Chain A
Amino acid sequence: MRVGFVLQEVGTGLRRNVTLTVAVIITVAVSLSLFGASLLVRAQVGQMKDYWYDRVEVSIFLCGDISDAPSCSDGEVSKEEKDKIREELNNLKPLVETVYYESKSDALKRFREQFKDSPLADTASEDQMPESFRVKLSDPTKFAVIAAAFIDRSGVEDVRDQRASLERLFKALSGLQNLALVIAAVMLVVTGLLISNTMRVAAFSRRRETSIMRLVGASNWSIRFPFLVEAAFAAILGTAVAVGALAAGKYYLIDQTLASTFTFTTFIDWNALYAIIPILLATGIGLAVVAAGITLRKYLKV
């Protein structure tokens, strides 16, 4: 089959079913935007995980004179106890990557920094602040090792893992992300059905041509090919629209708004968007060709 001839047939088909073609383009664009958005959110969450898990610490809070935990019954932590803890932490290398001692005055500084716009900052005093060791682990999932070693020991009030609170956040985020994926999947199914219906109408509106093609001995493949190209063409346009929408979303929502507001984390860069373009294209074209192919098998038989 000659390229020129196929293109001419495709052009005729597209012109004849403009409204339906536009409908296909729009649904493909909407469903792929959703799908792409959920892929981008996933990339963003992944990146946040990397960023945050890289920074999470295990905090070993030491007893102060106001602590009422059972392990603090001996009163404020002693110098010997602190030295012992530090030494043991150092012995836990390489799991323990770094150990940082935060004194009461460091803690107050940090507290004031965190709550600098709140009246709390002024009322806090140094002796209300706990001393602590901030421990960074080479493998943040091995929190239990530290907890087992230091919890309930005299002079240690509590051992806390920042990772646990982050995990709750990421669970919520991944729930959202799964919801977006389900919606995208439903939209993709709807898109497939619409494409299938469009092809049925297209096959019907061109039954004269196709019946003549059959009579003169055109192969099944060559009768269906222009329809498939048409569906793929609409899908490519829809994908392009979706990519445009995602790029606009990335630029206005992330680069212009979120990134300047939430400086505590990093956001996905353009490469994350480029990376999903092939996935979106393959999904769009694949969906169109499969949906159209199945329909045409039924409606354009020899």
Chain B
Amino acid sequence: MIRFENVTKLYKGASRPALDDVSVDIEKGEFVFLVGASGSGKSTFLRLALREERPTSGNIWVAGKDLNKLPSWKVPMLRRQIGCVFQDFRLLPNKTVAGNVAFALEVIGRPSSEIKRVIPNVLELVGLEGKEDSYPNEISGGEQQRVAIARAFINRPAVLIADEPTGNLDPETSVGIMKLLDRINRIGTTVVMATHDVAIVDQMRKRVIEIDTGHVVRDQARGVYGAGA
């Protein structure tokens, strides 16, 4: 589903590459944690997969597409197959919960009848029934992240990319979010999640890819956060 082949990313003006000769293969339906110290290159990995950045060298395939060969006008089509969730939720403060989720469908031109039909389903999936008319500042961080997940998932993407989705949440709320991501993964969505959350990684026992200063130093099925455990 996501394949990196000898990918190197050197940001302009940076002294060392953010990713250095990284090769990774993530299959359809997998759940993968990306771990590593701050600045190791996790977010860079995810941005490359979204084609928000282009690699300095190497090839990347996402959902069967060679990102180097993908013309830029097809990038929006790629992104419709990838859901994204971030640490800072990225909700629109002037839209309600339902409005924020609907936004993802509106901007890609779905008819309003379809939007009305699917919103309640996805809000129920993420556990936000009854909150559809609240504004982001009226709900908790965990709930805001659920809105973001609902928005990411509403197009039934093949891949869900999550960059420290629990970074701003307390442990208990984080567990709820992880249960939700696990559920989405079980429906068949590939999930790639960058995180610093030791407890979550150790508890879920999913595949763990550890990056250190741009190098993949560990790729372990059913792994844990710390090395050598």
By a beta-carbon cutoff of 8 Å, the part of chain A in contact with chain B is 1-2, 4-5, 12, 208-209, 211-220, 222-223, 302
Contacts and interface: CB of A to CB of B under 8 A. Distances in A.
A12 to B, nearest CB: 8
B106 A217 contact: no
Contacts of B92: 208-209, 212
B90 A218 contact: no
Most buried by A among B51, B76, B109: B76
A85 to B, nearest CB: 79
A215 B155 contact: no
B107 A302 contact: no
Contacts of B108: 216-219, 222
Given A208-B92, A215-B84, A2 B106 contact: yes
Contacts of A5: 106-107
Contact of A2 (B50, B76, B111): B111
Nearest to B151: A216
Most buried by B among A1, A5, A212, A216: A216
A229 B50 CA distance: 29
A216 B155 CA distance: 9
Given A2-B112, A211-B90, A216 B72 contact: no
B78 interface: yes
Interface string B100-135: 000110111101100000000000000000000000
Contacts of A216: 79-80, 103-104, 107-108, 151-152, 155
B118 to A, nearest CB: 14
A209 B50 CA distance: 18
28 contacts: A1-B107, A2-B109, A4-B112, A5-B107, A12-B94, A212-B90, A212-B103, A213-B107, A214-B76, A215-B79, A215-B84, A216-B79, A216-B80, A216-B103, A216-B107, A217-B77, A217-B78, A217-B79, A217-B81, A218-B76, A218-B107, A219-B73, A219-B76, A219-B108, A220-B72, A222-B109, A302-B51, A302-B76
B107 to A, nearest CB: 4
A18 B82 CA distance: 36
Interface residues of B, number: 26
B155 A217 contact: yes
A4 B107 CA distance: 11
Contacts of A1: 107, 109
Given A1-B107, A1-B109, A215 B76 contact: no
The 7 closest A-B pairs by CB, nearest first: A217-B80, A217-B79, A218-B107, A216-B104, A217-B76, A219-B76, A5-B106
Contacts of A214: 76, 79
Contact of B72 (A215, A223, A302): A302
Nearest to A223: B107
A219 to B, nearest CB: 5
Nearest to B109: A1
A219 B50 CA distance: 14
Most buried by A among B90, B107, B108, B151: B107
Contacts of B37: none
Most buried by B among A12, A211, A213: A213
A219 B75 CA distance: 8
A213 B76 CA distance: 9
B75 to A, nearest CB: 5
Contacts of A2: 106, 109, 111-112
Given A212-B103, A215-B50, A222-B109, 16 more contacts: A5-B106, A12-B94, A208-B92, A209-B92, A215-B79, A215-B90, A216-B104, A216-B151, A217-B76, A217-B77, A217-B155, A218-B76, A218-B107, A218-B108, A220-B76, A302-B51
Interface in B63-91: 72-73, 75-81, 84, 90
Most buried by B among A217, A218, A222: A217
Contacts of A302: 51, 72, 75-76
Contacts of A222: 107-109
Contacts of B155: 216-217
